[in-house]
Structure 1
C-alpha cells in the first residue's frame, strides 16, 4: 500500500460512523483499494499514475464494470488525502451513510461510474 492508502486505512479501520471497510477487496478481476459492503461503495486512491497514458481509459472501463455490478466508485487523489485526510474520510463516510450521489473532494472530476 502507498502512504496515502496506509493513512486512509488507519482512519477506516476505526469504523467511522459505524461503517466497515475492507481493504484490497476482490471484485471480478479487479482489486478495490477499499470497499464498504453495506453500501456497495468502493474507495479508490488515485496517485499520479492515474492521470497519464491510458490509465484514465482503463479506470473508466473499470468503473463502468463496477457500476454494472452495483458498486459505486469514489476516487480520491493521493494528494488530497495527504493534504487533508480528515476531510477526505469525512466525505467518504457522509456520502456512504446518507446514500447521497458521489461528489469528489477538492474539485476533482466526477467518477465515471454513471453517478451524477
Structure 2
C-alpha cells in the first residue's frame, strides 16, 4: 500500500480530460454532500474516484478498456473490489464529455441506491 501512495499522487497530477471534468462534478462534496477521493488506493488498485462512506467507486474508461485483455483485467479488478464490499460504476470518457449532466444523475442515483440498501 505504501508504494501506491506516490503512484496515486502521480496519477492525480496526470489526470485525463474526462477525469478532470468529472472531478469538477464530484469534488468538495458537490454531489449532494457525498465526499469523493480521486485516484484513491484500495487494496492493490488505485481507483479513479471513491466515495468511502458509501463504498462506491467510479471508474472512467477510455479507449484502452475495450481490448480483450483489458476487459478480462477490468472484470478481475471489479470482482476483487466488489469482494471488498464496493459497488463499481464504469463510465466511458465519451459520456463524460458529451453527457456530463446525465453522468452526474447516474452517479447520484447509484449512490442513493447504495445508501438505502
Superposition TM-score, scaled by structure 1 size? 0.82
Instruction: Please identify which structure carries the higher helix content.
Output: 2
Contact map agreement 1:45 1:78 (CA 8 A) in 2: yes
* 5+ residue gaps, structure 2: 1-14
Instruction: Answer yes or no: is 1:43 the counterpart of 2:58.
Output: yes
The alignment covers a number of residue pairs equal to: 100
For residues 31-83 of structure 1, the C-alpha deviation after alignment (integer angstroms, 9 at most, x for no partner) is: 00000011100000000000014000000000000011001100000011111
Contact map agreement 1:46 1:76 (CA 8 A) in 2: yes
Q: CA RMSD in A?
A: 1.2
Q: Secondary structure at the match of 2:46?
A: strand
After TM superposition, the structure 1 = structure 2 runs for residues 1-116 of structure 1, keeping only pairs within 5 Å, are 1-15=15-29, 16-99=31-114
* 5+ residue gaps, structure 1: 101-116
| Whole-Å separation in 1 of the counterparts to 2:112 and 2:68 | 34
| Whole-Å separation in 1 of the counterparts to 2:72 and 2:113 | 30
- In structure 2, the residue matched to 1:109 is none
Structure with larger Rg: 2
